[in-house]
Amino acid sequence: MQEIIDRAIKHGWGYIGYGKPAAYIPELSKVNPNQLGISVIQINGENWNSGDYEAKFTIQSISKTVALIMAVVDRGADYVFAKVGMEPTGDAFNSIIKLETIKTAKPLNPMINAGAIAIDSMIQGESIDKKFERVLDMFRRLCHNHSIGNSEQVYNSEKATGFRNRALAHFMKDSGIIEGEVEEVLDLYFKQCSVEVTCKDIAMLGAVLAGDGVSPVTGERLLPRSLTRLVKTFMVTCGMYDASGEFAIRVGLPAKSGVGGGIMASVPGKMGIGVYGPALDEKGNSIGGIKTLEYLSNEMDLSIF
């Protein structure tokens, strides 16, 4: 296994020069674009690492999987999906087009920004701080890392420049999709996206999902099987933004990416994989990370299709 993931990282490194870090969030544009790392954790707890796997990065949109879990636990699936759809969009992750053109202004899925903001409005708590404390606790529990926190620099950078997200949120508030105060919901969203993780953290999250909610470390059931299957299905259909179809064909794994450069993948019944490479392609996905996962999937015949 170690030789295979070393080769996968070497393969991915050959492509990172074709991408660049996210520039629309100023703090993310400062990272070293030449980093690339991977962690693999099997559902029995065995693990392997290669490259820059210990580098910290902000989780960004990978956090949408955890927020979805919390909203469904708090409100129930029927309530959640009365306000957020289950269909891929085909548009960019921060697009407003569908909100303007579909009849109910209902975001098409929880993995795009509009859907994730709506999901965050359903998470329960007495205040934004209490809500974020619950979100952070869930990250720590699922990633088996109690030291996980958030980057204040990235949070402040996102909050200062999140004009498109504000437009999405206000549009949904006007349509009755968003609950609560818009700025409070957005504050939770920005904080959630600024959570700092490593490849190991997101690989562990992927491993919990791969094991249908059972911890690969303790054997404890952390999530209901039905909920992990729901999340993995969204990862297949919507997890890689408007490149989800191509990713399904080339890699064939449930995965969720973030503009911080991370990709969390889950191989059902086998393993979780976390990759990090901040050089992004035009769709906002880690270009080296995708190539690393493609190599690994082909070499190990991991595709679920």
- What residues does each domain of the chain span? 2-58+196-300, 61-193
Q: How much is the pLDDT for 41?
A: 98
- What percent of the chain is modeled with pLDDT above 70? 94
Neighbour count for residue 225 (Cβ, 10 Å): 12
Q: How much is the pLDDT for 287?
A: 98
Nearest to 280 by CA among 19, 12, 9, 17: 19
Q: How much is the pLDDT for 175?
A: 86
| pLDDT tens digits for range 14-71 | 999 999 999 889 999 999 999 999 999 999 999 999 999 999 999 999 999 999 999 9
Q: How much is the pLDDT for 22?
A: 92
CATH for 61-193, among 2.40.160.20, 3.10.129.10, 3.40.710.10, 3.80.10.10?
A: 3.40.710.10
Count how many residues are written for the chain: 305
CATH superfamily name and code, 2-58+196-300? DD-peptidase/beta-lactamase superfamily (3.40.710.10)
Q: How much is the pLDDT for 108?
A: 85
- Residues in a beta bridge with 49: 39
303 has catalytic annotation:
no
> At residue 293, what are phi and psi to the nearest 5 degrees?
-65, -35
Whether the CB-CB separation of 36 and 51 falls below 8 Å is answered with yes
- 145-166 core/surface letters (b: 16 or more CB in 10 A; e: else): eeebebbeebbebbbeebeebe
Q: How much is the pLDDT for 184?
A: 95
Whether the CB-CB separation of 63 and 235 falls below 8 Å is answered with no
241 has catalytic annotation:
yes
Residues of the chain predicted below pLDDT 70? 89-105
Q: What whole-number distance in Å separates Cα of residue 201 and Cα of residue 204? A: 5
- 236-262 core/surface letters (b: 16 or more CB in 10 A; e: else): bbbbbbbbbeebbebbbbbbbbbbbbb
Active-site option among 64, 83, 106, 200: 64
61 has catalytic annotation:
yes
Active-site option among 80, 231, 259, 275: 259
276 has catalytic annotation:
no
Q: How much is the pLDDT for 80?
A: 96
Q: How much is the pLDDT for 259?
A: 96
Active-site option among 53, 189, 276, 295: 189
Q: What whole-number distance in Å separates Cα of residue 157 and Cα of residue 161? A: 6
Q: How much is the pLDDT for 174?
A: 87
Q: How much is the pLDDT for 106?
A: 82
Q: How much is the pLDDT for 107?
A: 87
Active-site option among 39, 40, 53, 61: 61
64 has catalytic annotation:
yes
Residues 6 or more apart in contact with residue 197 via CB below 8 angstroms: 56, 57, 58, 59, 62, 139, 143, 145, 148, 262
Q: How much is the pLDDT for 96?
A: 56
Decide if 2-58+196-300 and 61-193 have a common fold. yes
